[in-house]
Amino acid sequence: MAEILKPLGLAALIAFGGAAFAQDSDTTTEAPAEEAPAAEEAPATGDAPAASPDLDMGETVGEDAAPQVETYVDGVFDDWQRECLRIPGNEGPAPCQITQFLREEPEGAPVGKVSIGKLPEGSEANAGSMIIVPLGVLLTQQMTVGVDSAAPKRYPFRFCDPNGCVAQIGYTADEIAAFKAGVEATLTVVPVAAPDQKVELPVSLAGFTAAWDSLERPVAPQNTSPAADAAQ
Q: Tens digits of per-residue pLDDT, 126-158?
A: 999 999 999 999 999 999 999 999 999 999 999
DSSP SS3 for 62: coil
pLDDT exceeds 60 at position 176: yes
pLDDT in the model for residue 23: 47
- Residues 208 and 180 sit within 8 Å (Cβ to Cβ): yes
Q: Lowest-pLDDT range, 5-19, 25-39, 122-136, 197-211?
A: 25-39
Which has the higher per-residue pLDDT, 67 or 20?
A: 67
Confidence of residue 32 (pLDDT cuts 50, 70, 90): very low
Which has the higher per-residue pLDDT, 54 or 33?
A: 54
CA terminus-to-terminus distance, the chain? 61
- Which residues sit opposite 144 in a β-bridge? 154, 188
Which has the higher per-residue pLDDT, 222 or 116?
A: 116
Which has the higher per-residue pLDDT, 83 or 48?
A: 83
> What is the chain's alpha carbon radius of gyration, rounded to the nearest angstrom?
24
pLDDT in the model for residue 99: 97
- Report the 10 Å Cβ neighbour count for 100: 25
- Report the share of the chain in percent with pLDDT over 90: 54
- Which residues sit opposite 203 in a β-bridge? 185
pLDDT in the model for residue 4: 60
pLDDT in the model for residue 3: 60
Is residue 128 within a helix (H) or strand (E), and if so which, with residue range? strand 127-133
Phi, psi of 217 (to 5 degrees): -80, 125
pLDDT exceeds 70 at position 40: no
- Report the 10 Å Cβ neighbour count for 14: 12
CA–CA dist 143, 133 (Å, integer)? 10
- Report the 10 Å Cβ neighbour count for 63: 4
pLDDT in the model for residue 135: 92
pLDDT in the model for residue 88: 83
- C-alpha closest to that of 188 among 232, 155, 149: 155
Which has the higher per-residue pLDDT, 36 or 205?
A: 205
DSSP SS3 for 42: coil
- Residues 142 and 156 sit within 8 Å (Cβ to Cβ): yes
Options 3.40.630.30, 2.60.40.1880, 3.30.390.30, 3.40.1360.10; CATH for 10-17+69-213 is 2.60.40.1880
Which has the higher per-residue pLDDT, 188 or 2?
A: 188
pLDDT exceeds 80 at position 230: no
- For the chain, the domains span 10-17+69-213
Average pLDDT score over residue span 203-211: 98
Confidence of residue 11 (pLDDT cuts 50, 70, 90): very low
